[in-house]
Amino acid sequence: MSSQILIVDDDPLILKGAWNILTEAGMKAAVLKSGLMIQDYIRDNGAPDLILLDISMPDMDGFEVLKELRKTEEKGKEIPIIFLTANEDEDTESKGLSLGAMDYIRKPFIPSILVLRVRHVIELVTLQRELGSEVERKTREIEQLYLNVVSSLADAIDAKDAYTNGHSARVAEYSREIAKRYGFDEEQQDMIYMMGLLHDVGKIGVPDEIINKPSRLTDEEFAIIKSHPVIGGRILSNIKGMPMLVNGARWHHERYDGRGYPDGKAGEDIPLEARMIAVADAYDAMSSNRSYRGALPQEKIREEIEKGKGTQFDPQFADIMLAMIDEDTDYNMRDKHE
Look at residue 295 and give its three-state secondary structure: coil
pLDDT recorded at residue 259: 96
Model-level pTM?
0.65
Q: Name the pLDDT band for 75 (thresholds 50, 70, 90).
A: low
Range 251-270 burial, b when 16+ CB lie within 10 A, else e: bbbbbbeeebebbebeeeeb
Element (H, E) at 257: none
Altogether, the residues listed in the chain come to a count of 338
pLDDT value at 146 more than 80 = no
pLDDT recorded at residue 76: 52
Cβ proximity of 63 and 55 under 8 Å = yes
The larger pLDDT score, comparing residue 181 to residue 94, is at 181
Percent of the chain predicted with pLDDT > 90: 43
pLDDT recorded at residue 179: 97
Window from 47-61, 102-116, 133-147, 164-178 with minimum mean pLDDT: 133-147
The larger pLDDT score, comparing residue 338 to residue 235, is at 235
pLDDT digits (tens, 9 = 90+) for 125-139: 888 888 888 888 887
SS (H, E, C) 185-232: CHHHHHHHHHHHHCCCHHHHHCCHHHHCCCCCCCHHHHHHHCCHHHHH
Is it true that 4-133 and 160-327 share their CATH fold?
Answer: no
In 3D space, the residue among 123, 82, 125 whose CA is nearest the CA of residue 106 turns out to be 82
The interaxial angle of helices 298-308 and 315-327, nearest 10 deg, is 160
- Taking 3-state DSSP, the helix, strand and coil percentages for the chain, each rounded to the nearest 5, stand at 60, 10, 35
In 3D space, the residue among 197, 206, 211 whose CA is nearest the CA of residue 168 turns out to be 197
Looking at the DSSP bridge assignments, the partners of residue 16 are: none
pLDDT digits (tens, 9 = 90+) for 154-181: 777 777 766 667 899 999 999 999 999 9
pLDDT value at 79 more than 70 = yes
pLDDT recorded at residue 240: 82
In 3D space, the residue among 301, 296, 256 whose CA is nearest the CA of residue 276 turns out to be 256
pLDDT digits (tens, 9 = 90+) for 285-302: 999 877 667 789 999 999
Q: Name the pLDDT band for 320 (thresholds 50, 70, 90).
A: very high
Count of CB atoms within 10 A of residue 230's CB? 16
- Domain 4-133 sits in which CATH superfamily? Response regulator (3.40.50.2300)
| The listed CATH number (1.10.3210.10, 3.90.120.10, 3.50.50.60, 3.40.605.10) that belongs to domain 160-327 | 1.10.3210.10
Q: Whole-angstrom Cα distance, residue 85 to residue 102?
A: 14
pLDDT digits (tens, 9 = 90+) for 216-254: 888 899 899 899 999 999 999 988 878 888 999 999 999
Which strand ranges, in their side-by-side order, compose the sheet holding 103-106? 28-32, 4-8, 50-54, 81-85, 103-106
Q: Give domain limits for the chain.
A: 4-133, 160-327
pLDDT value at 273 more than 60 = yes
| Strands in the chain per DSSP E | 4-8, 28-32, 50-54, 81-85, 103-106
